[in-house]
Amino acid sequence: MRPAASVLLLTTATGFGFGLLAWLGAYSVLGLLPGHARVLIAAGVATSLLFASFGLGASMFHLERKERAWRAFSQWRSSWLSREGVAAVLTYPVAIAFAAVFWRDGPVIWTRLLGATALVASLGTVYCTAMIYASLKPIRQWHNRHTAADYLLYAVFSGAVLFATLRTLDLGAPGATASAAAAAAAGIALIAKRAYWRHIDAQTPLATLAAAIGLPKGIEARPLDAPHFTENYILRQMGFAIARRHAVKLRRIVLIIGFALPLALSILAGLTLAPMATTTLAVACTGVGLLLERWLFFAEATHVSAVYYGRRI
């Protein structure tokens, strides 16, 4: 599948934003935030909504007819893309109310409830995003049990490193809990990514060419003449293929920059070793690594319709 910049930015940035909001919500629910944390909450919610807005804004560039985007809120009964839009828009007022009530009242029952709602709403939005991909049956690398879990994990992970940075800005150090959480999330995300790659490498193509053209068993087919001599829309979108050797290299880069470095940096920050520098660097590494990871998620995905052109699926 062709990796479109708009979609890579959308999924990565909303992952950061809603992941951060989820951590703010979780901390509030667990009562880990003292009364003076209202600045942290306000700044955190603002940051998370900024990231989310950047991602949602980027996604607009994927639409050919942006002026009609409002129509996308209508089909939430069947479409995960529509649900994503509705969930994202519903998350905003919840997040703002959470920050506002915490600013006024501090950690009371209402802020805990609002924090819980923000946690559910933000992760719910990420889940909807993931299900857009996970529900597409023609793409075996997406239509599996890894996709939704992985998107949630990467959101929680990127939110955790962002949260650690905010804590450092607020208190001078991320604190043991936040840095441990970031390191643990990085480790789990790394294991999940490796498991995902193992899974898609072991998959077999969804169909043979013979099955795709309805031939009886025992008959083999190979392409003789294509319908057209130049690349068309289908081949540009669905026929995108990345060379295996590049994929292997890029996977290694993702594992190091996207997961291993943030893990190490989060541990260093937890040990109060230049926490400002280490947490900021962890965010930068996570951003670059996850963008590359998302690029691979698309570039390595194959669409069954390419089989009609005799391409690898």
For another protein, the binding residues (CB under 8 A) are 1, 62-66, 68-69, 71-75, 77-82, 85, 132, 135-139, 206-207, 209-216, 218-228, 230-234, 237-238, 303-306, 308-309
CB of residue 243 vs another protein: minimum separation in angstroms? 22
Least distance CB 295 / another protein (angstroms): 17
- Per DSSP, the three-state class of 155 is helix
Q: Find out whether 76 and 33 touch, Cβ atoms under 8 Å.
A: no
Alpha-carbon dihedral sign for residues 264, 268, 274, 279 = positive
Which CB sits closer to another protein, 74 or 203?
Answer: 74
User: What gap in Å lies between CA 203 and CA 44, rounded to an integer?
Assistant: 41
d(CA 43, CA 226): 56
Closest CB 79 distance from another protein, rounded Å: 5
Closer residue to another protein in complex, CB, 268/296: 296
Answer for the pair 186, 262: CB distance below 8 angstroms, yes or no.
yes
Q: Can you tell me the distance from the alpha carbon of 286 to that of 246, in angstroms, rounded to the nearest whole number?
A: 21
Residue 2 CB, shortest distance to another protein, in Å, is 10
CB-nearer residue toward another protein: 58 or 192: 58
Nearest distance from C-beta of residue 298 to another protein, angstroms: 11
From the CB of 126, what's the least distance to another protein, in Å? 17
- For another protein, the closer CB: 125 or 165: 125
Q: Read off the amino acid at residue 233.
A: Y
84 phi and psi, to 5 degrees?
-60, -45
As measured in angstroms, the least distance from the Cβ of 215 to another protein is 6
Closer to another protein by CB, 53 or 237: give it: 237
Which single residue is written with the structure tokens 């949602």? Answer: 56
Q: Which is nearer to another protein, 140 or 167 (CB)?
A: 140
| Neighbouring residues of 75: CB distance < 8 A, sequence distance ≥ 6 | 82
The residue (of 72 and 90) whose beta carbon lies closer to another protein is 72
Shortest CB 100 distance to another protein, Å = 31
Q: Which is nearer to another protein, 215 or 277 (CB)?
A: 215
Using CA atoms, how far residue 39 sits from 29, 81, 114, in Å, is: 17, 34, 17
The answer to whether 161 and 286 are in contact (CB under 8 A) is yes
Token pair belonging to 219: 């008959």
- Match 């280490």 to its residue by tokens: 278
Q: What is the CA radius of gyration of the chain?
A: 21
Question: Contact 270/174 with Cβ under 8 angstroms?
Answer: yes
Neighbours of 159 (CB within 10 A): 31
